[in-house]
Every structure is written in C-alpha cells, then in structure tokens.
Amino acid sequence: MNWKRSAAGLGIGLPVVALLAYGLTVDPDVIPSPLPGKEAPTFALTMLESGDTIRLEEHLGHVVVLNFWASWCFACRIEHFDLSEAARKYEGRGVQFYGILYNDSPENGREWIEMMGGQSYPALVDPTQRTAIDYGLYGAPETFVIGPDGRVVHKRVGPTTLAELSAIIDPLLEDRPAGPGGETPLPADDTPGQPDAPGLPIDTPGQPDTLGQPDAPGQPIDDPAAAQ
C-alpha cells in the first residue's frame, strides 16, 4: 500500500532531517574536549630561539596561554596579531603566553615569525609531538588557557581573538590570590615579626627612657647622702 511506503519513508527521512538540522546549530570550532576542568598535561619544551627549557610547573600560580601553530597553517595568520596584542596587554600581570610549534620544522617556524613581523611571546618546539598528543590536538591552530591552579579552563579550536582571550583571562586574574603563594600582602608600614606597641616611645641610643614623661629642668635629684 502507498500509505505504508510513505510512512516507512517518513520514518527513515525524519531522523536524517533532524540530524542535519542539529548539525546547522553546532559551532564547528567547538569540539568537545576532556581537558577543561582537569589538570593540564605537564611538559618541558625548548624555546625556538634561545634553546632554554620551559617547564609548565614553573608557572603554577599564573595564567598560561598555549597556542599550537604552524607555518603551513593559514588560520594561524588570522589570529597572530590578536595573540601578540593579548600577550602585550597582559605582560607583567601574571599571564604567560607560549606558541608551540606543531608538526613543523624550527627553520620554517623562524621564517614564518619573521615574515609575520615578529612575535611578542616565546615560541616552543615540540619535536616529538608528545605535547600535542597529550593535549588531544586536532590540528592548528588550537589555544588552551590554563588557570593559576594548573587546570585547563578553556580550549579553542580555530583562530582566537583578543576579545575572546580577555573575556577568559580577566576573571582568572580577579579570582587569583593577592600575594604569591596565596597569602595576603601586609600593609606597607607593617614589619613582619614586629608587634605594634601603642603609647611607647622608640628608644634612641644616648637618650634616657622617658616612657612619655618629659624631663623637668631645674628640679634637682634627691640624694639621700646629702640630706644627712
């Protein structure tokens, strides 16, 4: 019967239409990741220019932004200016940016940075791609924001922007403890280990203790021997 064929076709077609409709509502740059909320995978990578080793654990207590990039990545060109601007904006404020070269040679990386007019933050080399694997990289560019507690706060697939980074970093800086190690700094006029002593004068070498009582000039000191 025609109505049975129509019903069967409708039963098959509706799920397909629903799936396509759902796909139109999904941001292709938002790919689920198990990392946000978890401790960031540690690493020890060398800097592209100096060869110094950078260890993630050395930045505990600070916000860290990791951007995976490559010279062959066209989208990396789109975000490069914003990343450099963000690194300059947060310089000296407890935020460290690093660019991790992904699936590319150091020579190509250096040429690309020079071609782009420089970079305001260090580039790191990941020769074995171990760090990229640990972070579950799909490709380049991808950006990760790590909070002061060492946990991944945000992952971005595709080009990021200054506005997006600021919206994520600013709240992390507001929630960060005021002093290193989490302690609250003392006021400028307080000296650790020295309790205040209200009402007591400061002893000065060569001057008698007065305890707040001024000397009375012209009053002789009683001498018991002179009175006899």
CATH at 91: 3.40.30.10
Has residue 148 been placed in a domain? yes
Global confidence as pTM:
0.66
Domain count within the chain: 1
7-19 confidence digits (pLDDT tens): 555 455 544 444 3
Burial class (CB in 10 A: 0-12, 13-18, 19+), 85: middle
144-158 confidence digits (pLDDT tens): 999 999 999 999 999
Residue 100 CB partners (closer than 8 Å, separation 6+) = 45, 66, 67, 68, 69, 123, 124, 125, 126, 131, 132
CA distance 65 to 145: 5
Residue ranges making up the domain that contains 128:
25-173
Amino acid symbol at 126: D
Residue 223 Cα distances to 65, 84, 216, 227, 228, angstroms: 80, 83, 17, 7, 9
Has residue 159 been placed in a domain? yes
pLDDT band at 194 (very low <50, low <70, confident <90, very high): very low
Has residue 62 been placed in a domain? yes
pLDDT above 80: residue 127:
yes
Q: Which run of H or E residues covers position 181?
A: none
pLDDT above 60: residue 169:
yes
